[in-house]
Amino acid sequence: MLWGWSSWAAPAAPRGAAAPQGTAADFVKMSADTPAEAPGVSPEPAAQAALPVAPVQSINARIDPAWLDAMSARTGIPRTALAAYAGAASVLAEKSPQCHLGWNTLAAIGHIESDDGRYGGAVLGADGYPSAPIVGPALDGSAFAGIRDSDRGQWDGDAVWDHAVGPFQFIPQTWRIWGADGSGDGRADPNQIEDAALAAANYLCHAGDLSSVEGWRRAVFSYNHLDSYVDDVAKVANSYRS
């Protein structure tokens, strides 16, 4: 995983900014204006309620539409992107309840990495794809780490050097390990925001328990090895629950 190329910058945050705060009670309320399976907010422990979930193809279908409408209007996050973030966190709440990954953490990363799939003026479609591919510059060692092509240009169109790709800016070799199918179409595509959000959720939870400040920062730092990046993610994530 590598980040750092995008010219879009999150608001600066002081070194040592607190990780997102909150309790499960902030979101786990079975009503029309909250997610049907709301993920907990990092880094406080999330109370995991046993809720029946009907099998669905897309992770987006896990989340209450009324909550999506209200939260999208409040935060400015495109509804499709928000559903992907919350849906991915909901999957991990079931699959890895010890992780305590909040939807707002995924949302903050998605916002910083690609402006929620809108980087460069792209429009995020209802199908989860940006209207124009979001591909970072060649990782040729001139301005960023040098990473030789690992996918024969399948995802980034470059058979010489790798590029970060999609709303969560996965490098092809990282996607080969962590790629996931969140949309239920039988294909893992880093350009599709449900797939990318679920892959990012799996990646973050692999780092361990996000219920403490230290654990949360360690997980986000594993996504991008910059303390300033972790601070920016914390600031944006906290803004979504204020």
Residue found under tokens 């953490």: 105
pLDDT in tens, 121-157: 999 999 999 999 988 766 666 767 766 666 676 766 6
- The number of residues making up the chain comes to 242
pLDDT score, position 44: 36
Contact 183, 177 (CB under 8 A): no
Tell me the domain boundaries of the chain.
24-239
Lowest mean pLDDT among 16-30, 68-82, 120-134: 16-30
Phi, psi of 138 (to 5 degrees): -60, 130
- Label residue 45 by pLDDT band (50, 70, 90): very low
Distance of alpha carbon 45 from alpha carbon 67, whole angstroms: 22
10 Å Cβ neighbour count for 242? 6
- Taking a C-beta distance cutoff of 8 angstroms, is the pair 223, 200 a contact? yes
Instruction: Give the model's pLDDT for residue 236.
Output: 97
Structure-block tokens of residue 217 = 């920062």
d(CA 153, CA 130): 19
Cis check for the bond before 97: say yes or no (omega within 30 of 0).
no
Residue 222 has pLDDT above 50, yes or no: yes
Query: In this structure, what token pair is assigned to residue 41?
Result: 């907010």
pLDDT at 143: 67
Residue 1 has pLDDT above 70, yes or no: no
Rounded to the nearest 5 degrees, what angle is found at the Cα of 20, between the Cα atoms of 6 and 202? 65
Residue 126, pLDDT score: 96
In this prediction the pTM is 0.77
Model pLDDT, residue 51: 30
Can you give the pLDDT at residue 11?
31
pLDDT digits (tens, 9 = 90+) for 79-109: 999 999 999 999 999 999 999 999 999 999 9
Percent of the chain at pLDDT above 70?
68
Q: Residue 102: helix, strand or coil by DSSP?
A: coil
**Six-digit token string for 15:** 């070194």
